[in-house]
Amino acid sequence: MNYKEVQQLLKSKCDPFFKSYGFKGKSDSEGVEFVKRTELGAVGIVYGITDYNPEYQVGFRIFIGSNVCYRIFHHISKTESKYIKIPSTISLSYAEYTGEINHRFVVRNEEDMNYLVTTCTHFMEKVGFKFFESYTTLESLDKLLNSDPHTPVIYNDDITYRAIDGLIIAKVLNNPKFDYLVNTYRDIQKNSPPHLRIYERYVAFLQEHSREELLEIANTSPK
């Protein structure tokens, strides 16, 4: 099989399962994704396909995205949001779930693909849909990201972007710990100047703008 055939086979085998739950599938240069819009923003699953012809390695991760975080983040960064594939705020890869960080499914034939798809659907039924149901509001994301800034969060393991998303949410929700969070996240990153420079850019914007101004940027009410 070539890359295109692997991609098409993966999408065709996953389509019935995810469509039954209201997800829409799409293929692109990196793999296949299934996304469902929600009040918060979006939930979905992304399959990444790496071409090592005659075999292909496939990994997947599920994500939850907040439109508020997504739009404010890209407004500050001045990144064209149309170039950003998915508004992922938190995510969980199958490799992280199993504890095998470098885990990938090897696909050489249809039998391998069937094993991948079966494993994925079982994962969704056991873990994925419960994950989606656990974080459906900004308040639930605020609790996850900001309750204890010193404790790593598996669903957002990049401290800089965890901090930025956490502070966006805290500011929008009028979290009284906002100033404490700013200082704590800053202290955590003090030994990494490149990350700290990125962080300070976003903090400055959040401090200079009111909650109402941020919501106007997001063009939505907190969900």
Give tens-digit pLDDT for 127-152.
Answer: 999 999 999 999 999 999 999 999 99
Q: Above 60 in pLDDT, residue 86?
A: no
> Is residue 159 within 8 Å of 170, Cβ to Cβ?
no
Confidence grade of residue 46 (pLDDT, cut at 50, 70, 90): very high
State whether 148 and 122 are in the same domain.
no
State whether 142 and 191 are in the same domain.
yes
> Is residue 70 within 8 Å of 85, Cβ to Cβ?
no
State whether 214 and 172 are in the same domain.
yes
State the average pLDDT over residues 199-214.
96
Q: Residue written as tokens 């990196």?
A: 30
State whether 147 and 124 are in the same domain.
no
Gap between the Cα atoms of 62 and 126, Å rounded: 13
State whether 21 and 89 are in the same domain.
yes
Domain boundary among 103, 118, 134: 134
Q: Residue written as tokens 């293929």?
A: 27
Q: Above 80 in pLDDT, residue 221?
A: no
State whether 158 and 111 are in the same domain.
no
State whether 10 and 102 are in the same domain.
yes
Asked whether residue 43 is assigned to any structural domain, the reply reads yes
pLDDT for position 78? 77
State whether 98 and 164 are in the same domain.
no
pLDDT for position 150? 96
Gap between the Cα atoms of 171 and 181, Å rounded: 10
Domain boundary among 69, 99, 134: 134
Q: Is 168 exposed, middle or buried (0-12, 13-18, 19+ CB in 10 A)?
A: buried
* Domain tally, the chain: 2
Asked whether residue 192 is assigned to any structural domain, the reply reads yes
pLDDT for position 220? 56
Q: Strands, DSSP E only, in 39-195?
A: 41-52, 55-66, 90-93, 105-107
State whether 130 and 143 are in the same domain.
no
pLDDT for position 85? 52
pLDDT for position 83? 44
State whether 95 and 152 are in the same domain.
no
Provide the H-helix boundaries in 124-192: 129-134, 138-146, 159-172, 178-188
pLDDT for position 192? 93
pLDDT for position 35? 97
Q: Above 80 in pLDDT, residue 79?
A: no
Residue 203 is part of which domain span?
Answer: 138-218
State whether 90 and 194 are in the same domain.
no
Domain boundary among 104, 134, 164: 134
State whether 74 and 171 are in the same domain.
no
The tens digit of pLDDT for each residue in 157-205 reads 899 999 999 999 999 999 999 999 999 999 999 999 999 999 999 999 9
Asked whether residue 223 is assigned to any structural domain, the reply reads no
